[in-house]
Amino acid sequence: MAGPGLGLGLLLHKPLLISHSFFNPNFSSSSTFSLMEDLLGLLRIRIHRGVNLVARDVTTSDPYVVIRMGQQKLKTGVVKKSINPVWDEDLTLSVAEPLPVTLEVYDKDAFSIDDKMGSAVFDIQPFLEAVKMRLENLPNGTIITTVKPTRTNCLAEESHITWSDGKAVQNMVLRLQNVKCGEIEIRLSWIDVPGSKGL
Ligand SMILES: [Ca+2]
């Protein structure tokens, strides 16, 4: 394990493994207890697709997405030769405090360092506030909250937090920064972890 932070992130990626950590000699039980005491739950980020990304090879790119929050770092697979890639991959972060999430896009290169294709930061606080309302039985598609694009966030358009199939979800279109073009479409959802502090 690279470090306690990364280790815990990986462990929580599969919540069913939590109880196994109590019997894992490589894992300090005291840190497990403090983790569960501090844990608010799991944030699942569906990385849907990229739109009009920059070409970093001659006419195209081999893009993948890296998500960071605090010490945790997760990434998608590489979509080869596409500037409009569809990943449809779920990345799951364990949330002990609602830090901003950073999303970076890179072009995979076989024989050199992967090139940057832009980045964006987003705030999960409005989504957590919506989850905390503990709504129930709303019609599918009901809008709970709308977050507007501003000069200081990376939203390309209004982002709706909606009620979808029995839970709150937030759809976001992120405009990539430090690059001439490119947007990434993502969706947030929340998973409660039994025995944790919770929201
Ligand atoms: Ca490449």
Per-residue pLDDT tens over the stretch 8-22: 444 444 444 444 444
> Residue 152 above 70 pLDDT?
yes
Query: What pLDDT does residue 35 have?
Result: 75
Q: How far is the CA of 109 from the centre of ligand 1 (A)?
A: 4
Per-residue pLDDT band at 45 (split at 50, 70, 90)? very high
Q: Check: CB of residue 199 under 8 Å from CB of residue 67.
A: no
Per-residue pLDDT band at 56 (split at 50, 70, 90)? very high
The region of weakest confidence among 16-30, 113-127, 136-150 is: 16-30
CA-based nearest residue to 54, from 87, 80, 83, 81: 83
Q: How far is the CA of 79 from the centre of ligand 1 (A)?
A: 10
Query: What gap in Å lies between CA 182 and CA 107, rounded to an integer?
Result: 13
Q: How far is the CA of 122 from the centre of ligand 1 (A)?
A: 26
Q: How far is the CA of 186 from the centre of ligand 1 (A)?
A: 23
Q: What is the mean pLDDT of residues 95-101?
A: 95
Query: What pLDDT does residue 175 have?
Result: 98
Query: What gap in Å lies between CA 176 and CA 186, rounded to an integer?
Result: 13
Percent of the chain having pLDDT more than 70?
A: 83
* Beta carbons within 8 Å of 197's beta carbon, 6+ residues apart: 36, 37, 38, 39, 40
Distance of CA 171 to CAs 72, 73, 96, Å? 22, 21, 22
| Burial class of 175 by CB neighbour count within 10 A (0 to 12, 13 to 18, 19+) | middle
Query: What pLDDT does residue 3 have?
Result: 40
Candidate CATH numbers 2.60.40.150, 3.10.180.10, 3.30.750.24, 3.50.50.60; the one for domain 40-191: 2.60.40.150
The region of weakest confidence among 6-20, 29-43, 57-71, 178-192 is: 6-20
Percent of the chain having pLDDT more than 90?
A: 79
Q: How far is the CA of 59 from the centre of ligand 1 (A)?
A: 10
Q: How far is the CA of 11 from the centre of ligand 1 (A)?
A: 31
The environment of the single-atom ion ligand 1, i.e. residues with CB closer than 5 A, is 57, 62, 107, 109
Q: How far is the CA of 71 from the centre of ligand 1 (A)?
A: 27
**Amino acid residing at 71:** Q
Do strands 183-191 and 41-51 pair parallel, antiparallel, or not at all (unpaired)?
A: antiparallel
Q: How far is the CA of 81 from the centre of ligand 1 (A)?
A: 8
Query: What pLDDT does residue 25 have?
Result: 45
> Residue 109 above 60 pLDDT?
yes
Q: How far is the CA of 56 from the centre of ligand 1 (A)?
A: 7
Going from N- to C-terminal start, the domains of the chain cover 40-191
Q: How far is the CA of 13 from the centre of ligand 1 (A)?
A: 28
Query: What pLDDT does residue 116 have?
Result: 97
The residue assigned the tokens 């999430």 is 101
Highest mean pLDDT among 2-6, 25-29, 36-40, 116-120: 116-120
Q: What is the mean pLDDT of residues 156-183?
A: 97
Q: What is the mean pLDDT of residues 53-68?
A: 96
Q: How far is the CA of 110 from the centre of ligand 1 (A)?
A: 7
Query: What pLDDT does residue 17 have?
Result: 43
Q: Which helix (H) or strand (E) holds 93?
A: strand 86-95
